[in-house]
Amino acid sequence: MDFQLTDEQRDIRDTARAFVTKELMPLEEAFLRSGAARLPRAQERALQDKARSFGFWGMSTPEEYGGMALPALTQSLIHIELARTCLPFRFGGEADNILYGADAAQQDEYLKPTIEGRRLGCFALTEPGAGSDVSAIRTTARRDGAEWVINGQKTFISNGDEADYAIVIAVTDPGNDARKGSTAFLVDRDAGWTSAPIRTMGSWHQPATLFFDQVRVPAAKVLGDVGAGFDLAKRWIGRGRHVISANCVGIAERCLRLAVDYANLRETFGRRIGENQAVQWMIADSETELEAARWLALRAAWDVDRGADARHSVAMAKLFCCQMVGRVVDRALQIHGGMGYTKELPLEGWYRAVRAMRIYEGTDEVQRLILSRDLLRGFTRIGAHLA
């Protein structure tokens, strides 16, 4: 059994680490002081250009679209590094993978400009009455001659208030189960949908509610096949989960680092707080949980690369990593005492932001449902985990 990275993986990880350390971390103090939720667009673009000069552009994007098409494991290693900064920065050159199912004209209109950063989309599945149970969606798209007419509401949609187009999953065959009778549509904001931001606990996440009132789109806006909306949606959801696990690992690594440094520095009662067993135990627990999470996250990505059915290991990784990061951030904040509660440090922001990770892209409970159902149907990893 080999726990080593290849030379190539190590090089890419080290380059990502250098980029994050040299280019992003020095901007953290000013960013935290600004109180902003996002980087100004111009600054983000300049940083994306710089990242490109380091070789980071279109990590998941296929080579034919100018991307790097990196294996999931390599992407996870990069995401771990990137998550170590509290700067809300994303590499450029990415688009929702659901868009690769678009036809040639749609690719020109949506996929390519999104990859190039000229357009911003959002993915709209969740509704006020349908979250975990996506089969309960009620937004409809009714055929009317050469057009479809969309009515309904979507909610908690990331980027929903800024996006200039939405990928909307709507029921097109009301007589059927929504999982079989739904279709994906590419809907420009110009077509008439409106949005309202939702105020949330974490400043990173500013989802929105989207309103569709007799929004008309031509038949050419159907993405994929009529009736195949849920198959496409599953592809979108599946992609994010192993990346979220890697993000959790990166955030936890940084929090633990901050906690250890502070425990070695801060003195009370004439000695460093790290000399107290209470603090040592918090550090030891965080280190152990982080290590377990790291291997679950990398294992899940490895399964994705192997082309194996990665659903089980991805569910385990997401469940554990998203809970782990909450505990590690909490302990790091506790070790920092009052300082941890201030906005001088990234800890309080992470404390709020990571809470959402246990909800989006499948709640903890949904991951548990996936895992337990697999086992109850006879799936076993005993003896198979090294196969």
Ligand X SMILES: Cc1cc2nc3c(=O)[nH]c(=O)nc-3n(C[C@H](O)[C@H](O)[C@H](O)COP(=O)(O)OP(=O)(O)OC[C@H]3O[C@@H](n4cnc5c(N)ncnc54)[C@H](O)[C@@H]3O)c2cc1C
Contact positions toward ligand X, by CB under 6 A? 123-126, 131-132, 156-158, 205, 207, 356, 359-360, 363, 365-366, 369
CB 159 within 8 A of CB 141: no
Considering beta carbons, is residue 232 or 356 the nearer one to ligand X? 356
CB of residue 129 vs ligand X: minimum separation in angstroms?
8
- Taking the chain, what is the end-to-end CA distance rounded to the nearest angstrom? 11
CB of residue 125 vs ligand X: minimum separation in angstroms?
3
Provide the token pair at 262.
């502070």
Distance CA 314, CA 318 (A): 6
Kindly give, in sequence order, each residue whose CB lies less than 8 Å from that of residue 385, ignoring residues fewer than 6 positions away.
none
Distance CA 74, CA 220 (A): 36
Distance CA 309, CA 133 (A): 22
Distance CA 107, CA 122 (A): 15
CB of residue 364 vs ligand X: minimum separation in angstroms?
6
Q: Give how far Cα 173 sits from Cα of 102, 170, 181, 242, Å.
A: 21, 9, 5, 32
Give φ, ψ of 384 to 5 degrees: -105, -10
Considering beta carbons, is residue 151 or 153 the nearer one to ligand X? 153
CB of residue 314 vs ligand X: minimum separation in angstroms?
15
Considering beta carbons, is residue 126 or 286 the nearer one to ligand X? 126
Angle between helices 229-265 and 277-306 (to 10 degrees): 150
Residue nearest to ligand X (CB): 131
The Cα diameter of the chain in Å comes to 80
Considering beta carbons, is residue 100 or 295 the nearer one to ligand X? 100
Considering beta carbons, is residue 12 or 315 the nearer one to ligand X? 315
Q: For residue 361, indicate whether it is catalytic.
A: yes
Considering beta carbons, is residue 228 or 237 the nearer one to ligand X? 237
CB 335 within 8 A of CB 345: no
CB of residue 354 vs ligand X: minimum separation in angstroms?
11
Catalytic residue among 109, 127, 348, 361: 361
Give φ, ψ of 121 to 5 degrees: -110, 170
CB of residue 203 vs ligand X: minimum separation in angstroms?
11
Report, as residue numbers or ranges, the catalytic residues: 361
